Each structure stands twice: as structure tokens, then as C-alpha cells.
């Protein structure tokens, strides 16, 4: 009797809970095997319960069957229905003895609820003797979904199948009457803060500062000689030239060895006077060009030769190619002063503002100082 009970009840039960529930097993095996065990158990029930050892074995057997029935992977939703556009949760649970799955195979759900609809997932976590993973889905199509089991792939290639699921996706209801729609909210305006205008104010201030610096540079770039009196630009040309000659004489450049500075300032005074007096570009022309331009004006011809000697000696001194004799330094300043005096306009000569052409230049008894050619 015992042998028949063991072969009919115990062995099928042991085979059931000892065999791993892997890929390929179906849920139908469980009720069939349980029915077989119960049927055979009813045949031997009187004899089993008469033996204490057999009763204890039977109790342990059903406990094992109950535990083994809980070793499947379980999938569940928060609810059996959801509205379109609203997130919903999928909970996955695996018995801890199987370990954490490596991947989840969503290929069976692809036509109905693809993996692209997953918003986030918690990842596999161990809690209450199980490995759990919570996934948040969203869908925008209303339908009744019959979702097949998911495959949970473990390291090494083993796979567990979850239970199938059903989900009803309901369309989000819309108000029938446009009056029920809420009005568009107005813009929430922030209070005025002075820091909002800080950057534009700094840009404007910086632009004004740059403009002021450029204007100052343009007004001051014409001051090259450094002589006093250049601010009186509206003075008559001869008065400005005579005053600058007097200031140059007081500075005593050549007496202190500053020959180049002396002739640079002296020729600048002469060029500036000739440019304003005869309206020629004397400040930016070479010495020979100045003489050619003056020959076309009403300047007395007797003044051209002394001016030519002055310009040539000055060019030699400025470019360190030679130095005029010491006696010529004073003579050069007097030649420029005589040039201004001889060519300055007179009030009574309105018809001929360039002066009297018959006026003779002052003679100089100093030895000849013709510059080398």
C-alpha cells in the first residue's frame, strides 16, 4: 500500500516542485499535476491518515507544493484600465533564488505596447524575498490590450515567462460644450527689478565713453610740434607765425645741442605759415615741391632762394646727413621772420592781399652759407 501511495502521489509531487519552471513550461501543467495528486490521494486517504509518519509526510508535501507554486515571475498593473496620455505602472517580481534578470524581452508586446512607451524604470531591487522592477508606461491610443507573457532573460541565457496581462485604454473625455473649457491664463508678470536694466545701461555708458575717447583723440592728434599757441588756430597766419618764432627763440634749442629739434620746429612754423598764406599743401609736401608750388603764387621771387637754402639745411639736420654752420642757426630764424614780414597782407592792400612785390628783403652781411648739393 505504501509503495502504491508513494509511486502515485509522492513521486509526481516531488517531480513537480523539483523541476525548474523554465522557458517552455506552461501554466496548464500546474492544475493537471495537482489534480493527479489529489485523485491518487483520495484513494489512499484512509490508510495515510492512520499512519502518523505518512500524515506528516503529506503535510510537508503540500507545503512544498504551495511554496513551489510561488516561484513564477509575476507581472501586474496598478489598474486594469487607464486613460490615454496618463502614465501607469507595470510591476515585475521574480523569486530571489533566481537572481536579478539581465534583460526584459518586450518583443511579444511590440505591436501593442512597445518598449518606446516606457518613461522610466526603477531597475531591479531586492525586497521581501523578491527581485522587483517598476516600469512607468504611457500610451496615446485607446484599445483593449491582451498582452502575452514577457520574457525575463537571466545571466547564462535562462529565461522566465511572466503571466499574461490585460489592459483597457480609455480615451480621455473631452467637454461637450466649449463653454466648459477654461480660459487661457494670463502671463505671470514679475515685479520690476533694476538689475534687469543693468546690462543695457552698461552698454550705453560704454558706448558713450568710447565715443568720447575717439572724439578726444581726433581733436588732439593734430598737435605734433608741442609749441604753445596752437590753440589759437583762428589767429591770422602771420601773427601766429611771429609768436611761435619768438617762443622758439626763447627755448634755445640749438644753444643746448638740440639741432634737430630746432630745425624741425623752425621749418614746421614756416610750412604752416606758407600753407595758410598761399593755400598750398606745404605741411605734407617735400621741400622741392613747396618751392615749385610757391613759384605759381604772387610770392616775391627774391624770397625763394633764402627759403630754398633754409629747407635744404633743415633736411640735412633732421636726417643726420649734415649740420649747418653755427652762424646759420640765428640767420635761419631771421630768414623765416623776414619771410613772414615781407609776405604778410596789409589792410590798405585790399586789391593785392599778398603784399607789395617791390619790397626788398633785408640784407645779411654774414658769410655765404649755401648748403651742399
Taking every pair of Cα atoms in the chain, the longest distance, rounded to a whole number of angstroms, is 166
- Measure the CA angle with vertex 21, ends 16 and 24; round to 5°: 115
| pLDDT, position 356 | 41
| pLDDT, position 203 | 93
CA neighbor of 269 nearest in space, from 326, 332, 355: 332
Q: Which residues contact 135 (CB under 8 A, 6 or more apart)?
A: 89, 90, 91, 92, 118, 120, 121, 122
User: Are the C-beta atoms of 303 and 310 separated by less than 8 Å?
Assistant: no
**What are the grid coordinates assigned to 5, written together?**
501511495
- Does residue 210 surpass a pLDDT of 60? yes
φ and ψ at residue 175, rounded to 5 degrees = -65, 135
Does the reported pTM lie above 0.85? no
| pLDDT, position 90 | 95
User: Are the C-beta atoms of 366 and 357 separated by less than 8 Å?
Assistant: no
The residue-averaged pLDDT of 268-273 equals: 92
Lowest mean pLDDT segment, chosen from 53-62, 177-186, 223-232, 249-258: 223-232
| pLDDT tens per residue across span 290-310 | 999 999 998 998 888 888 888
User: Are the C-beta atoms of 357 and 296 separated by less than 8 Å?
Assistant: no
Q: Using DSSP, state whether 131 is helix, strand or coil.
A: strand
- Does residue 363 surpass a pLDDT of 50? no
Query: Could you tell me the pLDDT band of residue 42, with boundaries at 50, 70 and 90?
Result: low
| pLDDT tens per residue across span 96-126 | 988 999 999 999 999 899 999 999 999 999 9
User: Are the C-beta atoms of 67 and 17 separated by less than 8 Å?
Assistant: yes
- Measure the CA angle with vertex 357, ends 328 and 346; round to 5°: 95
Query: Could you tell me the pLDDT band of residue 34, with boundaries at 50, 70 and 90?
Result: very low
Amino acid at each position: 500500500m505504501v509503495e502504491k501511495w508513494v509511486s502515485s502521489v509522492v513521486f509526481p509531487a516531488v517531480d513537480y516542485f523539483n523541476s525548474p519552471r523554465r522557458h517552455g513550461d506552461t501554466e496548464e501543467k500546474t492544475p493537471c499535476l495537482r489534480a493527479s495528486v489529489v485523485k491518487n490521494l483520495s484513494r489512499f486517504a484512509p490508510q495515510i491518515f492512520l499512519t502518523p509518519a505518512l500524515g506528516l509526510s503529506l503535510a510537508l508535501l503540500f507545503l512544498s507544493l504551495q511554496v513551489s507554486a510561488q516561484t513564477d515571475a509575476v507581472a501586474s498593473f496598478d489598474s486594469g484600465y487607464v486613460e490615454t496620455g496618463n502614465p501607469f505602472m507595470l510591476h515585475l517580481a521574480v523569486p530571489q533564488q533566481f537572481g536579478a534578470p539581465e534583460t526584459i524581452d518586450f518583443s511579444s508586446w511590440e505591436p501593442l505596447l512597445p518598449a518606446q512607451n516606457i518613461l522610466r524604470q526603477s531597475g531591479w531591487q531586492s525586497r521581501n524575498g523578491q527581485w522587483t522592477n517598476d516600469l512607468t508606461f504611457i500610451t496615446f491610443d485607446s484599445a483593449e490590450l491582451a498582452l502575452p507573457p514577457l520574457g525575463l532573460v537571466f545571466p547564462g541565457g535562462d529565461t522566465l515567462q511572466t503571466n499574461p496581462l490585460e489592459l483597457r485604454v480609455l480615451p480621455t473625455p473631452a467637454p461637450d460644450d466649449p463653454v466648459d473649457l477654461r480660459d487661457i491664463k494670463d502671463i505671470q508678470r514679475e515685479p520690476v527689478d533694476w538689475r534687469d536694466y543693468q546690462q543695457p545701461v552698461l552698454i550705453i555708458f560704454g558706448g558713450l565713453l568710447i565715443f568720447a575717447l575717439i572724439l578726444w583723440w581726433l581733436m588732439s592728434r593734430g598737435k605734433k610740434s608741442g609749441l604753445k599757441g596752437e590753440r589759437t588756430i583762428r589767429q591770422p597766419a602771420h601773427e601766429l607765425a611771429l609768436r611761435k618764432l619768438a617762443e622758439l627763440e626763447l627755448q634755445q634749442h640749438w644753444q643746448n645741442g638740440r639741432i634737430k629739434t630746432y630745425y624741425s620746429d623752425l621749418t614746421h612754423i614756416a610750412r604752416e605759415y606758407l600753407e595758410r598764406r598761399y593755400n598750398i599743401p606745404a605741411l605734407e609736401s617735400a621741400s622741392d615741391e613747396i618751392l615749385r608750388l610757391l613759384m605759381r603764387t604772387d610770392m616775391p621771387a627774391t624770397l625763394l632762394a633764402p627759403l630754398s637754402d633754409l629747407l635744404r639745411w633743415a633736411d640735412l639736420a633732421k636726417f643726420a646727413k649734415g649740420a649747418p654752420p653755427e652762424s646759420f642757426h640765428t640767420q635761419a630764424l631771421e630768414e623765416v621772420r623776414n619771410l613772414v614780414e615781407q609776405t604778410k597782407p596789409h589792410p590798405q592792400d585790399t586789391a593785392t592781399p599778398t603784399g607789395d612785390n617791390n619790397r626788398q628783403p633785408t640784407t645779411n652781411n654774414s658769410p655765404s652759407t649755401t648748403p651742399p648739393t
